[in-house]
Chain A
């Protein structure tokens, strides 16, 4: 009987598997971004402080011209699990920005130097102004490292639960930043737009933002587009998920505790149920406590 079930199940699974491959044509034309090695991947993954600082530099000198980071405050840069700047550095950094505050006692808005509690000021006063300057408003980058993905497809999305692969967005962002290539001959790129190998539909409004040597690093990291892309992606991942290190650390503690607790409960359960699960001894009128397992 069980063989027949297995056969029926197998047939059903085979049928569904063969059908998964058939409509591959329906998928979007963009190629899947390659998997990159990220320090923050996996159960014990954390951020590389130096990389976050380099990434922040790339954001500040390049991306911030058009893209906001409005959900991140200056003080976050000095918090645990982040780029690890000192409070003094953050104070000095914040003071370099002009923040519009008010209205003051005279009823007028005024500009003042930034404080650590301020959030990064947006490059444009509103979305319409950003759209007017670029044709389309450049997205805010605070959450971009969680707000992009690509389809993993069956069976990969099942394996992802076990391998904890969840870096679709960082992989995509990195691929996009290094994905400015010459368009294929038969591909027509509209006026004012650009070709990108990884952008859905390949036509992207943003021009290639990075070039080799554009940002001067304070450490020995190579000044290449690939390295810039990698670093700024890591920074954006932190910006989107600033408590990630704490989350993974706590997760490890919680799971270790739960496994230990479950083990104790398992043996407790076994002991309590022992008498019930030895029904033969009971049926024969023997004292179950006197017989061994």
Chain B
């Protein structure tokens, strides 16, 4: 998007608008002419998928809010009304509930793609940081959204998570009172959570705007991790990236539809079909699956404040990731050691998620501690050291070169096989 747009509207009305507000050339330069690296793989379609999911969540959410009642004695019933009596209410509500999970599946793939291909490195640090801010906002939104149906897990999840803030020295208790709007999780809590749950998605949309602005300013990273050097290295966004993004989004919708129509409660918790009861604590209080790795880190530390710090630290460390990774090479394709550590880290995150769903006892606690230590070790020790000790493979001269080289190699092998 750098440089002045070459777009010239032809229709007089378009020219008239363009002279007063250059919105058409902005749209043209960012969604049509914008050059994208020609070698992007399908992991680069998750930005479009996430945008789609944000729109789905906002649209279904606005419709749900028309039927939902944020009051402790009515919330659960109003959700059941939506499920039973509102026309296609079950569809909208299952879409919204499963959509949250789909949003997180997509965002985790998006983030791990960024880590694998070093997309956070110079000059994309701000782009990455904006992404982490979106992730934080998503977590807050999802957490508060889960409270709204006012089931058992809503209530007890809210109680456990808001109580965490009481660990903060001096101001902790005040923060918790402020979150609750009283002295326990009650009607004021539900009301402010509903208000914030409606507000935050629009803040997400705003930061997404900045995220895309930053992206279009610095340009996309790519699997080779080398910057585009000539016109041969890129293709225009439309039609190339557009059709690829739409295809990937529709494939993702099939995956989404599977959960939505066939196993809509798989990703939720049965206890949330029991109305909230402050006098009965569920046997296991577990957050939604997408928080489980962080929940495991929280419980791994025997000290409350320490656990809270570790949990927030696990996200905070992502903010400084661009400076922790000392390697100048972006893509893991050319970093043989990093590539292995990346996969160990990914498996470690999955194991943490599994541990988060288990009761905090026995072997699980010890395993949680090992995995938590490894999580931080990866960021604070392995990544900084790797940059110095690793000998990266030679980088391709250009993107076109990496694509052509690979193809030429493949053709050579194919002909060799054919001869033999």
Bound pair: A and B?
Answer: yes
A-side residues, CB < 8 A to B, are: 1, 4-5, 8-9, 12-13, 16, 19, 22-23, 26, 28, 43, 71, 76, 139, 142-143, 146-149, 154, 160-161, 164, 166, 168-169, 200, 240, 242-243, 247-248, 250-252, 254-255, 258-259, 261-262, 265-266, 268-269, 272-273, 276, 279-280, 283
Within B336-378, the residues touching A (CB, 8 Å) are 336, 339-340, 343-344, 347-348, 351, 354, 358-359, 361-364, 367
Known: A19-B367, A262-B247. A247 touches B347 (CB 8 A): no
Total count of chain B residues near the partner, CB < 8 A: 55
Contact A279 B400 (CB under 8 A): yes
Known: A71-B80, A143-B273, A262-B251. A279 touches B263 (CB 8 A): no
Contact B261 A146 (CB under 8 A): no
Apart from A1-B336, A164-B263: 13 A-B pairs, beta carbons within 8 A: A4-B340, A19-B363, A71-B80, A143-B274, A148-B270, A160-B263, A160-B266, A240-B273, A265-B246, A265-B247, A269-B243, A269-B247, A280-B404
Chain B residues with CB under 8 Å of A261's CB are 250
Interface string of B249-268 (1 = CB under 8 A from A): 01101100111111111100
State how many angstroms separate the Cβ of B250 from the closest Cβ of chain A.
Answer: 5
**What is the predominant secondary structure among interface residues of chain B facing chain A?**
helix
Complex Cα–Cα for A149 and B235 (A): 51
Contact A255 B274 (CB under 8 A): no
Chain A residues with CB under 8 Å of B186's CB are none
Complex Cα–Cα for A161 and B265 (A): 11
Chain A residues with CB under 8 Å of B358's CB are 23, 26
B343's contact among A9, A16, A143, A283, by CB below 8 Å, is which?
A: A9
B239's contact among A247, A258, A272, A279, by CB below 8 Å, is which?
A: A272
Complex Cα–Cα for A283 and B398 (A): 14
Contact B351 A16 (CB under 8 A): yes
Give how many A-B residue pairs fall within 8 Å (CB-CB). 129
Known: A147-B271, A149-B270, A255-B257. A262 touches B250 (CB 8 A): yes
Complex Cα–Cα for A259 and B247 (A): 11
Chain B residue at smallest Cβ distance from A162: B258
- Can you list 5 A-B pairs with a CB-CB distance of less than 8 A? A26-B358, A26-B364, A28-B283, A148-B270, A255-B258
Contact A250 B244 (CB under 8 A): no
